[in-house]
Amino acid sequence: MFDVILSLSISFTISFLAIPVIINVAEMKKLYDMPDARKIHHVAITPLGGIGIFAGFIFGCLLTINFQNSSEFQYFVAATLVIFFLGLKDDILVLSPIKKFIGQVLAAFLIVYKGGIQIKSMHGFFGLEGPLPEMYSGDFSNFRNASNAIIPIYDPLTQCGTAGNGACAAGQTIQRQVFPGNIVPKNRFDPVGNALAAFPLVALPNQPGDAFTHNNNYSALASKGGDNDQVNGRLDYSVSDKLRLFARFSRWHSTNLAFAPFHNGIYANDPYAPEEFTTTQGVLGSTYLITPTLVLDLRASYIRFPYIRSQSFENISLSKTFGFPKYMDEQLPIIHSGPGTSIPSVSIGGYNTASGLHILSTENDYLLTPNLS
């Protein structure tokens, strides 16, 4: 934490002191960025203020980062230098697009290839991986990490100090025993768990995935999208010099199509579940000039917002399909104010499951606002 505070302090101080000096030098040398159709500023400004910010940033890094323990940072700094000088020259002389592109590719090469900063796994992001087929039967004998080492599966019934097991030794860190062969016996599987796995909640892998871990082992195309329509209208009418009326109406209708990435009939959750809503709003207003210094303003508005989010397998029997208690078929629709049951939302460590919640609601808002000023 001290290094972070020190780095921020150094960077801020250098930038705070350097920027005014750089701006003065730029003005003396008439180094201006003139406005044109592609730029948002409307007056001539100096383009060199970033030098002070970069100077503070680079000094903060160099003075506080231990490059022996974090060697990849040297390539990060080298890449930032490439981008900095590229931008500096572009501000002064204007570079062609191809030269800027080559410089950006060089900077990316330094970070990705030399620095080794790479995305090698999405870790289940958007459901890009699923359990291996043998895992459904409890076989984790080939469950490995990125270093090709077996990931042990511990038996919770062997926890030391509980259920008749011996007491934990002083300083003992591993307090449970690994399942023999890293295989969970089938008699330890709960019937509900078996039913959920067999449904199935996720698809089986269709790609080999990464080496050893088999991450990113599922790939498929799935359609998604929706439609949005909006209508707005306003009417203003001056009755007299003292009285003015207006009315406004707006309607926004949105539909979102179903998205089932695992092709198992289960919709992904928001914002990919099929949903539909219509926002309707109406406003009436009146402004009356009582005296030259006193105005009465009256607003009356109404907003209606009906919303429905559908889920796959609506009204499914949770008790018959998965073995849940029968009362869940009766009570869950009441608790969630929905028309029926749907696939339960189950979290599986390291994986994404496509499930969600059925929502059915309507909101009505009425507002009357008088204002005397």
Cβ atoms within 10 Å, residue 255: 14
pLDDT over threshold 80, residue 55: yes
So what's the pLDDT on residue 238? 93
Q: What CA–CA distances, in Å, run from 30 to 27, 39, 95?
A: 5, 19, 20
Q: Is the dihedral of CA 305, 346, 350, 177 positive or negative?
A: positive
pLDDT tens digits, one per residue of 254-307: 988 888 888 888 887 655 578 889 999 999 999 999 998 999 999 999 999 998
| Token pair listed for 333 | 């629709």
Distance in angstroms between the alpha carbons of the first and the last residue of the chain: 54
Residue 323's nearest CA partner among 193, 179, 231 is 193
So what's the pLDDT on residue 354? 66
Q: What is the mean pLDDT of the chain?
A: 84
4 pLDDT tier (thresholds 50, 70, 90)? confident
215 pLDDT tier (thresholds 50, 70, 90)? confident
So what's the pLDDT on residue 124? 46
Angle at 274 between CA 272 and CA 280, to 5 degrees: 110
Which H or E run contains 108?
helix 97-109
3-state secondary structure of 353: coil
**Beta strands 154-155; 177-178: pairing state:** antiparallel
So what's the pLDDT on residue 181? 95
**pTM as predicted:** 0.51
- 263 alpha-carbon distance from chain centroid: 23
Share of the chain above pLDDT 90, in %: 29
pLDDT over threshold 60, residue 366: yes
> Which residue intervals of 165-309 are DSSP H helices?
191-198
- E strand segments, 182-323: 226-238, 243-256, 275-291, 294-309
pLDDT tens digits, one per residue of 310-355: 778 888 899 999 999 999 888 877 776 666 788 777 777 666 666 6
Beta bridge partners of 276: 255, 308
Q: Which residues have C-beta within 8 Å of that of residue 166, sequence separation ≥ 6?
A: 160
So what's the pLDDT on residue 278? 93
